[in-house]
Structure 1
Amino acid sequence: MHKKRFVDPFFPNRPVDDPDRFSGREIQVDEVADSLFQIANSNPKHTIITGDRGMGKSSLLLQTRMLATGDNRLVNKLDIDIGYDAFNYIIAWHDANYDQTPEHIVSGLLRDLEGNISKLFGKFNLELDLYGLKVGSSVQKEKTVADLVNDFCDIIKKSYKAVIDGKKQGIILFIDELDRVRPDSGIATFFKLATEKLSREGIKKVGFFCAGITGAIQKLEVDHGSVFRTFRDVPIPRLTKSETSDILSTGFCGVGFTFDRIVLDAVFELSSGFPEPVHILGSEMLSEASSKQITIETFNKAKKRVVTDVKKNKLKSLLEKAGYGKYQKILEAMAKYEGPYVPLDFISRHIGYDQKQFSTNISNLIERETITRVDKGVYAFVDPLLKEYIRNFGIINIKDNVDNDEQ
């Protein structure tokens, strides 16, 4: 008998856009709600959501966007007071990318803002002419960051009047993947000068909300030393055991499945607090289950399928990106450690090198986003499933690269 088809309640490959399926993060949701409240009261709290890659930053940023435009389902579920019946901001959104400059980001935001204002108040033309590049023109003129700030603030002032006259609370500008922008691009200087100029000119119901990996705001200090004071940092920690259990139990129960408690413990131990493995394992367990009961055997089958099939190519690519020689030996040592958080002295004993002899390799693995530093002398895989991949397939042994420590 075939299993009845159902809508997968897990989201392994995209941000969570359903407040009813967004689990945990109560402290962080309260903080972004407070930032929105402060902006509505002319006390702008520009905010950046930070965390390790795959920690759910984009999900929280998306939930903030929904909250800013009047969707209270998440704050109602968490019993968080927002100070209003609902927020009613005009918003704009831009996804940053590696090759983008501050001009690209500002242009993207303002084009989205123009469209969103037009949807509510009829045709609205912001006369976008940033950095000398008009729509349909191939002529581009170099401008300084200061010029860009002046152009941006002039356009925001025009938008601001229409928004406030239209009984909206203000304007929220969302930028996801901010860490992709080069620190020396001038983006930090733009944020610092633009926020100060808007505040100085009384345009105080405008706020930036960004998301980027841990350390993104610190890297921006390369461009402007005081940018840290511009943003309120909302760090997203790893999922707790109860948050992991909540994601799984909500998903399983939502489609009529029961489960053994040991499954929740096993997923938490394997996922190391990262949301993506929780969602992908939850999804695969539903596929592997032969009945409406999720057991530890179901978990083991799902784990094997994820590592040897579903994510095999991605995990292989991660391993290749790490480098060879000592890099592979370090990862092999980490995979052999029973717990998720691996002490440096364990790695040292396994590979037979003094810690000083592979400190550069550790730094490079962090830079390449293969591992992350949990605490002083303690490390973990950025993707916990890479540990299982190495246990199944081993490391890459290329004789010519055994001593090439800097590849």
Structure 2
Amino acid sequence: MSNRYNPFKPNYPIYSGLFAGRFKEMERIDDALFQTAHNNPTNLLFVGERGIGKTSLLLLTKYFANGTIVLDKKKHNFLTIQLNINSNTTIADFIIKFKKQLQRELHKMNSTQKVIDKAWGFVKRLEISGFKINDTPETSTEQLIDDFTYSFSETIEELTNGEEVSKDGIVVIIDEADTACKELGLGAFLKSLTETLVSENTNRALFVLAGLPTVTDILRESHQSSLRLFEEHLLKPLKKKDVKFVIDRAIEEVNEKEQMEIKIVDGAIEKFHEVSEGYPHFLQQIGFCVIVNLKSNQITPGIVEDSMYQQGGALDLIGKRYYMDLYYNKIKVDSYRQILSIMAKEWDQWISKTEIRKDFKGSGTELNNGIKALRDRNIILTKRGVRGVYRLQWLSFAFWIRIHKLRG
């Protein structure tokens, strides 16, 4: 079997090359960076389903901010701190992760320990104590937040007005913010931090968060006013022209590397858009499978469709990565899966309990228990202000359920 270069990257975030669309978001990121450099930040919150490209957009934000990527000839010069959090991340974990990332970024600039030693000595107590927080004055949660806040402020002052390094400010990027636990109190934490930066006149810090749709509830539960800190952007699937851009760019790469000419037959781009539903991760996985399955120099609609639906194809790989465990392991009762299958007929649109009951083969008690369990697991969402109306959290999940059910 001959090998062929494959330009698609379904297992990694993409910030250049095959990155497409998101022009509105890119402009907002660029302007937010500009405003932050002038002491007037607007924090950004990107919300979207699994596979929609949140992590790729955050990676693009990082490289915009540090000047690696330039948009419209405007080069930014921020120190960037990128953090991934999960359901176990505590305040102590967050602070230690931040300090380590700060050290790494300063090391890249060949900076000495001056900034770290001057403002972040208190973190040594956490590292020595094994991240434990107790009620003593030095390691209480409140004291840690205060220490972090003023250390953060001093760092901004040193980076923007100091003699050793010169930066426009700091950009803090937080992925999977929807996983923040109650103990972290992310919304309240960031609200307190940003208010202190304003009062200290060191407000050259931009916070960029991304998460699943439940992220707004996580922030609001932490502090009712925390969402006011952010300009929220809902990431939607790519348009057909963006899908075409990705496929055209990928084929150009293959033709250049292989010194051959692969052609895209009429209707193939439309089929890519149809089966991927415009989801960047779906598109990358389908494209990868198409190149693997390609036996000639022509990409036809049939090859695209086969690469999506065949055994071991793109849909199977996507399902194993995102949904198999959720559908079979985290849901132990068949009647719960039946509810999901009924709701998937409406994709991710709102559906009432009355409508679900029409197709549900089980008792009223089973239906009520199933809906409650799915809500508690954040698999389905409740329409705010309306009783008994729900939807699947992810359109891509609905897509997988429907195809999975058709294939038995």
Length-normalised TM-score, structure 1:
0.81
By how many angstroms is 1:325 displaced? Answer: 2.9
Q: 1:195 to 1:51 in 2, by over 3 A?
A: same
Residue number in structure 2 paired with 1:327: 336
Aligned pair 1:148/2:144, yes or no? yes
Q: Which ranges in structure 2 are unaligned for 5 or more consecutive residues?
A: 256-261
Alignment partner of 1:60 is 2:49: no
**Is the contact made by 1:146 and 1:190 (CA closer than 8 Å) also made in structure 2?**
no
Residue 156 (structure 2) aligns with: 160
Aligned: 1:122 with 2:111: yes
Query: Contact between 1:372 and 1:382, CA under 8 Å: does it hold in 2?
Result: no
Residue 133, structure 1, aligned to residue 125, structure 2: yes
Letter in 2 for 1:299: V
Whether 1:50 and 2:47 are equivalent positions in the alignment is yes
For each residue in 1:208-230, what CA deviation from the matched residue of structure 2 results, as whole angstroms up to 9, or x when unmatched? 22211123133221121110111
Cα distance in 2 for partners of 1:318, 1:138 equals 33
Cα 1:331/1:154, change in 2 over 3 Å: closer
Does residue 351 (structure 1) correspond to residue 380 (structure 2)? The answer is no
The answer to whether 1:301 aligns with 2:300 is no
Which residue matches 1:253?
252
* Other-structure match for 2:258: none
Specify the alignment match of 2:259 in structure 1: none
Task: Answer yes or no: is the 8 Å Cα contact 2:44–2:208 preserved in 1.
Answer: yes
Q: For 1:20, what is the secondary structure of its paired residue?
A: coil
The root-mean-square deviation of aligned C-alpha atoms, in Å, is 3.2
Structure 1 residues 119-172: Cα deviation after superposition (integer angstroms, max 9, x where no partner): 325222524345773444558443444322321123223322331233311111
Alignment partner of 1:172 is 2:167:
no
Matched, 1:26 2:26: no
* Identical counterparts, % of pairs: 22
- TM-superposition CA deviations, 1:164-205 (whole Å, max 9, x none): 233311111122111111134322221111110011001011
Does structure 1 residue 382 correspond to structure 2 residue 396? Answer: yes
Q: How does the TM-score come out when normalised to structure 2?
A: 0.81
Per the alignment, do residues 33 and 206 of structure 1 end up closer, same or farther by CA in structure 2, a change over 3 Å counting? same
Partner of 2:215: 216
> 2: CA distance between counterparts of 1:382 and 1:367?
20
3-state secondary structure, aligned to 2:42: coil
The alpha carbon displacement at 1:390 in A equals 2.3
**1:405 is matched with which residue?**
none
Contact kept? 2:375, 2:382, Cα under 8 Å: yes
Cα deviation 1:368-396 (Å, max 9, x = unaligned): 46567899776564333343222223xxx
What's 1:14 paired with?
A: 12
Residues 334, 387 of structure 1: 8 Å contact kept = no
1:277 touches 1:385 (CA, 8 Å); kept in 2? no
* Amino acid corresponding to residue 180 of structure 1 in structure 2: T
Q: CA deviation at 1:352?
A: 5.4
Please tell me the residue identity of whatever aligns with 1:58: T
What are structure 1's unaligned runs of at least 5 residues? 76-80, 394-407
Q: Structure 1 residues 139 and 289, CA, compared in 2 at 3 Å: closer, same or farther?
A: closer
> Which 10-residue stretch deviates more, 255-264 or 224-233?
255-264
Q: For the Cα contact (< 8 Å) 2:271–2:305, is it kept in 1?
A: no
